[in-house]
Amino acid sequence: MMNLEIISRSNLESVAVAIEEAKRRGIVFKQSLVSAEYSDWRTFLTKTFPFLVLKSFVAHQIEFWDWVWAIRPSERPKPFVALWSRGAAKSTSAELAAVLVGITKRRPYIVYVSGTQDLADRHVQSVGSLLEHAGIARALNKYGASRGWRRDRLRTDAFTIDSLGLDTAARGIRVDDDRPGLIVLDDVDSLHDTAEATR
């Protein structure tokens, strides 16, 4: 099992707790990792997020990360469906995967989809905390103002991550000329969903 020290709390709160613990331990965050080279996904995770305690991975997590690492800018991979048990770091892995795909410039536009807009926004805020502590700068316009760093959008010079709730209408979404290159579906179900809602 991947031990991230952040599974039991909500993602946004738990990432903040992990970051504060890292600061307490004296771990220094790099200023910018956008141009860094990584040999594999393990190197990316440990170098980019030293505050995460990555001990070991089980087979289905390795399969997921191998799939994420194999994404290439001009190729369309087969979809990956991860149906993992509670506490298996599903959301944390999905958030980190969105970060990896953006930082390593595999996709310029990523959409993070959840059952509600509020939940999708919370996931994107958690991703924003990860990006900030990895030293990824916000995109600025020619006047020095942020081009989009809010609860539902994270925009850098290299990539953009938007949140989208299934309870929100969206047609033809894009950023400049980019359509979504990666769509992450996370927390799209609800405890009391009917069989019809699940279908």
pLDDT per residue over 98-142, tens digit each?
999 999 999 999 999 999 999 999 999 999 999 988 888 888 877
Residue 5 in this model has a pLDDT that exceeds 50? no
Q: How far is Cα 93 from Cα 174, in angstroms, rounded to an integer?
A: 24
* Cα distances (Å, whole numbers) of residue 26 to 5, 23, 79: 17, 5, 39
Read off the amino acid at residue 53: V
Q: How far is Cα 40 from Cα 45, in angstroms, rounded to an integer?
A: 9
pLDDT in tens, 37-67: 788 999 999 888 888 767 788 899 999 999 9
Q: How far is Cα 13 from Cα 46, in angstroms, rounded to an integer?
A: 20
**Mutual angle of helices 90-103 and 59-70, in 10-degree steps:** 20
- Tell me which residue has tokens 């970051």: 19
Nearest to 29, CA basis, from 97, 138, 129:
129
Q: How far is Cα 194 from Cα 199, in angstroms, rounded to an integer?
A: 9
SS3 label, residue 39? coil
